[in-house]
């Protein structure tokens, strides 16, 4: 980074795991007292505080290249994963950061557990998200659900009830571990992310959308429905705004499963801008209305952009912060209403798994008929799905062409605490305009991604004209009361 004139604005190269960063304090003088005060105030406001923790590597870099600051000098073999190279021991770098911490070492595991316990005990932290968590559960054969670190964390009284989220992968062999972390772990779900992005660029299949709406049940079934953490964007990669504005990262790197809508970057074209805004609402709406735990990155609800840059850790400060002066308050209002809708309808917050084939969700096509097998896998991709690398090669025509409407009728199950009216979720995949005959009678629109701001209405409808990609939530007219004070 230094050679390229860049700096690591994230600080994702730690060494002192238990030390709060003084630069985050307002005065820079007493980060301990200020963090305690901040956590207390946030708790009083009803907000939990979680830490994103990096135990998978340190700032000491690669053996013989990086600095020797602490553990590399004290006990290199115990601290880091090493393997035999052509000229001796080298780092087994499964993180892509120069080294990988060796959690098979009892002393390292003890340090991890005591560090987490200290954050809970001394600051009141409520939960942790573990960066590249697959590295932390590696033994000599690869990641394993029987790793002693998992047992040590489960046995710690200080961590009882503390929430744990895994980023369930790393760069090493067998490093993709989605669905393999045991209770009580929750997991970032990249399959949901990819489907949400494909929906936003107009190439998702109805089958993939149905799986996303039902919390990827084929992977997580048998565990709590909250196991999946659903997000369309994270601190890594594009923001939601950039997903609809750039087909390629301006700083190079991998494809982001994005599509610019025909023009790259910012544009004054009103039609392109309106379509981009709708696609943002569709992706965020899928995140908020799917089973599981929704996650939004700060700033995505107000249209934050990184200028098409995918490597967020090297951004300059003007691109990294939340741009309040330039906030898209129309988007913020729509997102706030979507959150309220999720809270209002219990079938959008189901306490147990409801899979694609479960009778509590009935699936219909755009003509209001049960979904036919040939429609489930319709795509609007301009390349064969098997060859798609997520580079954004999507457009208004493809292998099968045209939009496909998927309707999911969610009926409440009172025996598990679901109350209130049913909900009809209508999602249009692909691009282009389509007519939708609503399934099972009359409905009233609750929230529609086609509208720049929520439109509160009690008008009864039996059909919709929708542009793809699109998303609408509807409920029964007799059970919908509009609060005009909102």
Which of the residues are catalytic? 131, 167
Backbone angles phi, psi at 433, to 5 degrees: -95, 145
Distance set, CA 198 to CA 53, 177, 195, 218 (Å): 29, 22, 5, 19
Whether the Cβ atoms of residue 166 and residue 206 lie closer than 8 Å to each other: no
Burial of 194 (0-12, 13-18, 19+ CB in 10 A): middle
Tokens of 354: 């409801």
Q: Count of H helices and E strands in the chain?
A: 13, 16
Whether the Cβ atoms of residue 342 and residue 289 lie closer than 8 Å to each other: yes
Backbone angles phi, psi at 132, to 5 degrees: 45, 55
Q: What's the CA gap between 63 and 91, in Å, rounded?
A: 6
Q: What's the CA gap between 62 and 409, in Å, rounded?
A: 54
Question: Residue written as tokens 């594009």?
Answer: 238
Q: What's the CA gap between 214 and 255, in Å, rounded?
A: 26
Q: What's the CA gap between 263 and 267, in Å, rounded?
A: 7
Whether the Cβ atoms of residue 240 and residue 277 lie closer than 8 Å to each other: no
Q: What's the CA gap between 338 and 82, in Å, rounded?
A: 48
Peptide bond into 5 cis (omega under 30): no
Q: What stretches of 184-237 adopt beta strand conformation (E)?
A: 186-188, 228-230
Tokens of 13: 């190269």
Backbone angles phi, psi at 101, to 5 degrees: -70, 140
β partners of residue 464: 436
Q: What's the CA gap between 237 and 249, in Å, rounded?
A: 9
């Amino acid at each position: 980074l230094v050679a390229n004139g860049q700096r690591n604005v994230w600080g994702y190269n730690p060494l002192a795991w238990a030390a709060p960063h003084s630069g985050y304090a307002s005065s820079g003088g007493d980060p301990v007292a200020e963090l305690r005060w901040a956590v207390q105030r946030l708790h009083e406001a009803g907000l939990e505080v979680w830490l994103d923790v990096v135990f998978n590597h340190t700032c000491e870099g690669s053996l013989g290249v990086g600095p020797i600051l602490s553990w590399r000098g004290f006990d290199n073999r115990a601290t880091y994963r090493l393997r035999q190279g052509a000229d001796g021991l080298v780092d087994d770098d499964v993180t892509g950061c120069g080294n990988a911490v060796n959690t098979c070492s009892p002393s390292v595991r003890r340090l991890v557990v005591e560090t987490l316990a200290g954050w809970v005990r001394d600051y009141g932290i409520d939960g942790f998200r573990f960066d590249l968590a697959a590295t932390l559960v590696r033994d000599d054969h690869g990641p394993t659900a029987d790793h002693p670190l998992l047992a040590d964390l489960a046995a710690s009284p200080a961590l009882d009830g503390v929430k744990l989220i895994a980023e369930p992968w790393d760069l090493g062999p067998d490093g993709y571990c989605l669905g393999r972390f045991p209770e009580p772990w929750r997991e970032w779900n990249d399959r949901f992310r990819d489907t949400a992005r494909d929906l936003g660029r107009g190439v998702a299949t109805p089958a993939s959308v149905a799986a996303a709406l039902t919390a990827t049940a084929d992977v997580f079934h048998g565990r709590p429905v909250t196991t999946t953490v659903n997000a369309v964007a994270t601190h890594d990669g594009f923001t939601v705004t950039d997903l609809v504005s750039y087909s390629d990262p301006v700083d190079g790197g991998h494809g982001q499963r994005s599509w610019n809508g025909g023009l790259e970057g910012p544009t004054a074209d009103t039609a392109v801008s309106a379509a981009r805004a709708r696609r943002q609402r569709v992706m965020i709406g899928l995140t908020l209305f799917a089973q599981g735990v929704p996650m939004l990155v700060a700033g995505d609800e107000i249209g934050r952009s990184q200028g098409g840059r995918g490597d967020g850790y090297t951004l300059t400060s003007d691109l990294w912060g939340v741009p309040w002066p330039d906030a898209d308050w129309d988007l913020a209002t729509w997102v706030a209403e979507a959150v309220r809708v999720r809270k209002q309808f219990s079938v959008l917050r189901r306490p147990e798994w409801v899979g694609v084939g479960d009778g509590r969700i009935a699936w219909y096509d755009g003509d209001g008929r049960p979904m036919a097998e040939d429609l489930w896998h319709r795509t609007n991709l301009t390349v064969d799905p098997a060859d798609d690398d997520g580079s954004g090669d999507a457009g208004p025509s493809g292998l099968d062409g045209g939009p496909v409407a998927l309707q999911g009728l969610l009926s409440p199950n009172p025996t598990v605490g679901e109350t209130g009216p049913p909900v009809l979720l209508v999602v249009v995949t692909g691009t282009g305009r389509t007519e939708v005959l609503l399934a099972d009678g009359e409905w009233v629109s609750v929230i529609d991604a086609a509208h720049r701001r929520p439109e509160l209405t009690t008008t009864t409808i039996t059909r919709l004209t929708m542009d793809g990609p699109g998303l609408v939530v509807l409920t029964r007219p007799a059970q919908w009361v509009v609060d005009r004070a909102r």
